Structure 1
């Protein structure tokens, strides 16, 4: 499978992903997209990306990222991508060839370990924490319905702090939360893929040892300039 996030497609980028699509068609059986598919959350950007991805000959499962919500057009963006054959996941799953289940959520921030933000104090703080809890519960529901021999998880925000090494320490709590790792450790998975951390580290692990891969395209381009995505066999 190929995995990548943070494509940040803009409306003036016709042809930008042509070579990317050709490589995916040759090298992968499945494509996983980990959020920030558009740059400013505009439906016009979604149309351009859908046009680019329509040449894919492999199935695609995706989640949205924070950029995809910027202009409150996420529903319309999902519609454009769905018509191009992209399976958008938001607390649900996609099954590939009856053997691999893909569970997906956007995720949210909130911090990690003992420094995870708690729902105490102002209502705004409680709302922030509740969003992270809600995303975790959606992932738990998606994983609980999967009975495939193998399963992987895709999200936009990071479930572990390790893959944020390299990002400014001040913003790391806003790039993910360990709440997202809890359902993964409970139900198990072959791997977790996320984006969002353009300057982060490529790999980490959950508490139970499940591999976590940061596949943000800026990071992948730095590591694999010839392909701009992670290729992994499971």
Structure 2
């Protein structure tokens, strides 16, 4: 909200705090259904432009007794509690739509989120810095949401919240086995069909036929594709 008013004059933001405080306190909250000023004082705040306006809420009316005011505020607070509970459930539902439940296991490798601060003197911009550091190995869980980590290379220990962790994928050690497995399955099925005699014709497939040579050539092409994919992954990682 402050950024909408300071524009290029960022050294005068503190001069706007009184007006912004009044705006926030007199605005109806979407969660509670009431303004903060009404929940705190039992009446709406008088705005500067309506101090002498008779239609301003709370002016020109008979003073309310303390007992009736306390009874009315109890009813208001009961409504506010229901509104807060309903808003919390709705906000939690929207938040969980984008959240993936994940918890690292002891011994697994993870990345740790970094919370950088920009430094104009050193020419360091937090937005351009790496967002994660690691990999770290999970050593233990002192509490349900806290994990003790150890860097895989430097062996330094750190303690972090699991919300700051992300699963680490070691692309260098992973082999593109999916292509090779598909090639082996394809070759096995083709060789089986080649060795199976065809009772409908007088000839049956024999070892060393051109079909088998084609299968070998096809498997070689699959392996070349897998090696090229692995080399590309290593080059991207480096």
- Say which structure is richer in helix: 2
Q: TM-score over 0.5 for the alignment? A: no
State the TM-score, normalized to the length of structure 1.
Answer: 0.19
Higher relative contact order by CA 8 Å / sep ≥ 6: 1 or 2? 1
Q: 1 or 2, which has the higher strand percentage?
A: 1
What is the TM-score of this pair, normalised by structure 2? 0.19
Bigger Rg over Cα:
2
